[in-house]
Amino acid sequence: MMLSIPIIYEDNHLLVVEKPVNILSQADHTGDQDMLTLLKQDLKQRYNKPGNVYLGLVHRLDRPVGGLMVFAKTSKAAGRLSKQIAEGNFEKIYLAVVRGVPKQWEGQLVHYLKKNPKLNKVSASDHRLSGSKKAVLNYQVLASRDGCSLVQIDLLTGRPHQIRVQFAAVGHPLVGDQKYGVPTKAHVQIGLWAYQIGFNHPTLKEWLVFNQPPPFKRYPWNLFAGILNNGGVIK
């Protein structure tokens, strides 16, 4: 059964989509559905393409996280988008619902993250450790309600599990994060959403910005639906 993936924008070089929650970005050992395979199948069917379809994965979202992803339909686009990401010229804005209220309503988090591949888990340190990578994000608290806070995040580095690990490290784990947060009921969705992306079009050189709101009707986003609907987000 082909999963329906909302297409936000498409041209000859780009494919911008909304990744559903709990779908892999790329195939792994589980054999579960993944975005790259599903979108290749969709392109093959829609355009009646023979043989293999090219689609470049230029960034990833964690499996439980939904929101915007951009894929490259040509190798030229893939190379140029990857370069923008490497040089820090690719804007990634997230929304998160965290437990508690950060003391500072806006600021910057800087940690050194180290991944344990066997456990698929990342640890955070205030100091550089052997094998660790620097992780930086800027954040702004938009609202607080029912012991939770809605936070807008400008992700400056793209480390694995970065937002989840960094907020857990400062005592404000994401709601619904089974790996780094407080154990919750399995059906509670993680409070993290890829809300906005911005980048230079790989051939037109125009700055493109796309945004897609989280599912307002689902917890924990429903705590802040009025705020989001009233345009209280986005810089």
pTM of this prediction? 0.93
Half-sphere exposure of 27 (CA within 13 A, CB side): 6
Q: Torsion-angle region of residue 68: left (phi > 0), alpha (psi -120 to 50) or beta?
A: beta
β pairing state of 91-99 and 192-200 = antiparallel
Query: For position 235, what pLDDT does the model report?
Result: 45
Domains in the chain, ordered, with CATH? 7-229 (3.30.2350.10)
Establish whether 62 is a catalytic residue: yes
3-state secondary structure of 31: coil
Query: For position 44, what pLDDT does the model report?
Result: 94
Tens digits of residue pLDDT in 10-32: 999 999 999 999 999 999 988 89
Cα of first residue to Cα of last residue in the chain, in angstroms, is: 39
Gap between the Cα atoms of 28 and 26, Å rounded: 6
Task: State the burial class of residue 1 (Cβ atoms within 10 Å of its Cβ: 0-12, 13-18, 19+).
Answer: exposed
Gap between the Cα atoms of 67 and 155, Å rounded: 14
Lowest mean per-residue pLDDT among 22-26, 71-75, 179-183, 204-208: 179-183
Tens digits of residue pLDDT in 106-161: 999 999 999 999 898 999 999 999 999 999 999 999 999 999 999 999 999 999 99
32, 34, 42, 62: which one is catalytic?
Answer: 62
Query: For position 53, what pLDDT does the model report?
Result: 94
Tens digits of residue pLDDT in 28-39: 988 899 999 999
CB 55 within 8 A of CB 73: yes
CA-based nearest residue to 163, from 82, 18, 60? 60
